């Protein structure tokens, strides 16, 4: 088995975790292949481009945290190879284990004692008159939000061509089930099981408190657009990156992407266990 490795060089402890992972993989008879940035962190020459790594590896290990996982997912170009996050610190929602559990991770790869959780991705198209549409892929969410004015903005959302609502808010989030534990949760949205075939539409700090999150089927097309030209340009982001200014007549179409992301899970780990740990749930 070839294990591709992408490490966040800006994360404290990344180099030590990388060295430990390399030692464990070699001891288990597995081959480690490094991205160019990771090879530089290890003090080695060479390394593969992100696309080459995605093609060559059987499994990809990402050393960092949930943010590193989101960034790696975008860089790997929609690969459906299993991706395992090794969190440097406490366990994240997207990561398979911590850097203190690398031995267990190596043993799981050697024995095949792991599973994959198939996660829905968002495909978002920004449509601007006279230009080719720009396309983005997201694991967590697509967000249309206020720009630099600091004021509430007016925007509309439709589902399969039918008006859902006109919002006066700081913005609007369209999240996958995976993204329900991220920005949408902070904005008051519900927690959703990763296997649910839905999107959640969550307003950010709406002017009217009756404007709540809505869960819709993930087979629909959701369209977002600014409503008031006096609001000035708005900002569109996916997974907290790829920020793009949105003008008055622009439209954003959000739908389920054709590909999915396969997150590697160790056998003794689950989404529900991560919820209990990250949200500090306790029984009565």
pLDDT at residue 282 in the model: 79
End-to-end Cα, the chain, rounded Å: 46
Q: Tell me if 283 is assigned to some domain.
A: no
Residues 139 and 233 in one domain: yes
254 plus 131 within the same structural domain: yes
74 lies in some domain: yes
Query: Contact 30/59 with Cβ under 8 angstroms?
Result: no
How far is residue 52's CA from residue 34's CA, in Å, rounded to a whole number? 10
Residues 109 and 164 in one domain: no
Please check whether residues 162 and 246 belong to one and the same domain.
yes
DSSP state of 160: T
- Report how many domains make up the chain: 2
Residue 130 domain flag: yes
pLDDT at 228: 84
Average pLDDT over residues 192-216: 95
The residue among 151, 136, 149, 154 whose CA lies nearest residue 227 is: 154
Helices (H), the chain: 14-27, 36-41, 50-56, 66-75, 102-111, 183-186, 271-278
Work out the average pLDDT over 182-187. Answer: 96
Residue 185 covered by a domain:
yes
Same domain, 131 and 67: no
Active-site annotation, residues: 66
Residues 130 and 247 reside in one and the same domain: yes
Which of helix, strand or coil describes residue 39? helix
Residue 128 CA: distances (Å) to CA of 125, 132, 153, 252: 10, 7, 19, 9
pLDDT above 70 as % of the chain: 99
Give domain status of residue 150, yes or no: yes
Q: Is 80 helix (H, G, I), strand (E, B) or coil?
A: coil
Q: What's the chain's Rg over C-alpha atoms?
A: 20
Is 25 in the same domain as 75?
Answer: yes
User: Does residue 89 share a domain with residue 126?
Assistant: no
pLDDT tens-digit map of 84-114: 999 997 778 898 999 999 999 999 999 999 9
Instruction: Examine the domain organization and report whether 97 and 139 are in the same domain.
Output: no
Residue 6, domain member (yes or no): yes
pLDDT at position 271:
86
Enumerate long-range contacts of 162-166, CB under 8 Å, 24 or more apart. 164/201, 164/214, 164/222, 165/211, 166/227
Cα separation of 145 and 170, whole Å? 6
Instruction: Please write the tens of the pLDDT for every residue from 39-50.
Output: 999 999 889 999
Average pLDDT over residues 21-37: 97
Q: What mean pLDDT do residues 187-215 have?
A: 95
Out of 76-80, 83-87, 234-238, least confident range: 76-80
Residue 2: is its pLDDT beyond 70? yes
Is residue 2 a contact partner of residue 33, using CB atoms and an 8 Å limit? yes
Mean pLDDT score, 207-235: 92
Do residue 63 and residue 190 come from a single domain?
no
pTM of the model: 0.93
Strand order from edge to edge, sheet including 141-145: 214-217, 198-204, 171-175, 141-145, 234-238, 241-246
For residue 176, tell me if it sits in a domain: yes
Domain CATH number, residue 108: 3.40.50.10330
- Residues belonging to the chain: 284
CATH number, domain with residue 228: 2.60.200.30
The domain in which residue 210 lies consists of 121-258
Query: What is the mean pLDDT of the segment spanning 10-24?
Result: 95
Amino acid 284: pLDDT: 58
Greater confidence (147 vs 155) lies with 155
Whether 284 maps to a domain, the answer reads no
């Amino acid at each position: 088995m070839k294990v591709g490795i992408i490490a966040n060089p800006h994360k404290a402890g990344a180099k030590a975790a990388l060295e430990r992972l390399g030692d464990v993989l070699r001891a288990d008879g597995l081959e480690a292949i490094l991205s160019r940035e990771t090879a530089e962190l290890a003090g080695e020459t060479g390394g593969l481009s992100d696309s080459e790594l995605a093609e060559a590896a059987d499994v990809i290990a990402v050393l960092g945290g949930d943010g590193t996982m989101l960034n790696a997912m975008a860089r790997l170009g929609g690969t459906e190879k299993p991706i395992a996050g090794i969190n440097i610190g406490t366990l994240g929602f997207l990561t398979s284990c911590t850097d203190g559990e690398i031995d267990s991770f190596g043993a799981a790869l050697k024995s095949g004692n792991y599973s994959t959780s198939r996660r829905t991705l968002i495909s978002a198209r920004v449509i601007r008159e006279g230009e080719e549409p720009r396309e983005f892929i997201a694991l967590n969410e697509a967000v249309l939000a206020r720009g630099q004015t600091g004021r509430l903005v007016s925007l509309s959302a439709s589902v399969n061509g039918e008006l859902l609502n006109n919002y006066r808010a700081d913005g609007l989030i369209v999240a996958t089930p995976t993204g329900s534990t991220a920005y949408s949760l902070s904005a008051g949205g519900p927690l959703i099981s990763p296997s649910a075939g839905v999107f959640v539409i969550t307003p950010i700090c709406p002017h009217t408190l009756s404007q709540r999150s809505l869960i819709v089927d993930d087979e629909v097309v959701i369209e977002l657009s600014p409503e008031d030209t006096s609001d000035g340009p708005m900002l569109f982001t996916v997974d907290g990156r790829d920020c793009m200014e949105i003008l008055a007549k622009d439209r954003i179409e959000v739908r389920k992407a054709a590909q999915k992301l396969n997150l590697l899970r160790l056998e003794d780990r689950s989404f529900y266990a991560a919820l209990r740990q990250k949200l500090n749930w306790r029984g009565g």
